[in-house]
Copies of this chain bind each other. A is one copy, B any other.
């Protein structure tokens, strides 16, 4: 051992990574970044505002500095450029909803991952009799948190799709399972010639309309109510499904792709995006962990590779398919009818 150059450092960093995660999640829960968006504050002011104990306050904010989420200058703490843009609740670019959900729900649910590995069963509200989407859609407060959280999860990819997809070749688009409308807003902002909107359960309408209105896009983006499990999909030149397919089992995935095919005109495109796993299933850790998150959260959902999705699209009748990387762990799979 003493002569060996291998060290346990990488293993320990990974095994204790929940410390840094939970520290960020608690900061989001408290609203620290929203508060600091107004300007830098010293430790005393922050501690008073959030009722932080003198034993923990300095370690907490200094850890956030070391994790790159805050900056410390002359004794005052300020948001980093990223945390200011993405973790200030007052900005439309807020992605903290998904972290609020991770803090309240996913962190404790993942505590019983080992049980899920043995049983193949969800570890969330379903464990005590509910079902995931049922539990979420039944409570307006949880629903709003969930819908906002989806915007956070999709923000980076939505911006990339708005830029990378050849939108100039199309006139209309509808985002299937749109939640708050994060994707349509980014696409519409970057492509002024497009009209379209978002499709989701009727209960989602007010949350979508509020969000779209906050960008003054209500004249170009409409809400399309419906259930993709029981209804046909609405028609547009381009249909988008982001973080939708991974929620469902194989038969449901095939059904959703078939419905998209039916709804598209000839030459229309289906754009599927999420943390698409690399074909060798050995590189995209976030995509593989997201699939384990589907184990924790759903009865049959799973994430998949680009090759998987292209195969399903071809089986549904799509003529051409391709995979294109977006940002970080996210890619899009495009099928042309």
List residues of A whose CB falls within 8 A of some B CB. 1-2, 4, 6-26, 28-30, 50-60, 62-63, 65-69, 72, 81-83, 85-87, 92-93, 95, 98-99, 102, 106-108, 110-111, 113-114, 116-120, 152-153, 155-156, 159, 162-163, 186, 189-190, 277, 280-286, 288-293, 295, 300, 302-303, 327-328
Contact = CB atoms under 8 A, between A and B. Distances in A.
Given A29-B114, A85-B4, A281 B62 contact: yes
A22 B56 contact: no
Contacts of A83: 11
Contact of A120 (B29, B55, B66, B119): B55
B292 A119 contact: no
Nearest to A119: B53
A321 B233 CA distance: 72
By DSSP majority rule, is chain A's interface helix, strand, loop, or mixed?
helix
Which 8 pairs of residues, A with B, have the shortest CB-CB distance? A53-B120, A66-B285, A55-B120, A63-B288, A17-B17, A18-B18, A9-B328, A17-B21
A50 B113 CA distance: 14
Contacts of A19: 110, 289-290, 292-293
Contact of A81 (B6, B95, B102): B6
Contact of A190 (B2, B290, B292): B2
B8 A82 contact: yes
A321 to B, nearest CB: 23
A309 to B, nearest CB: 16
B282 A69 contact: no
Contacts of A302: 55, 59
Given A9-B156, A30-B114, 17 more contacts: A7-B327, A8-B95, A12-B99, A14-B67, A14-B69, A15-B25, A16-B21, A26-B113, A52-B117, A52-B118, A56-B295, A58-B281, A62-B277, A63-B285, A66-B282, A66-B285, A66-B288
A300 B23 CA distance: 19
B289 A8 contact: no
B65 A281 contact: yes
A15 B28 contact: yes
B107 A18 contact: yes
B159 A1 contact: yes
Given A23-B113, A302-B59, A163 B4 contact: no
A238 B285 CA distance: 45
Nearest to A28: B15
Contacts of A120: 53-56
21 contacts: A1-B189, A2-B189, A2-B190, A6-B85, A7-B159, A7-B327, A8-B152, A9-B328, A13-B328, A14-B20, A15-B21, A17-B17, A18-B107, A26-B114, A53-B118, A56-B117, A59-B302, A63-B285, A65-B282, A66-B281, A66-B282
A105 to B, nearest CB: 11
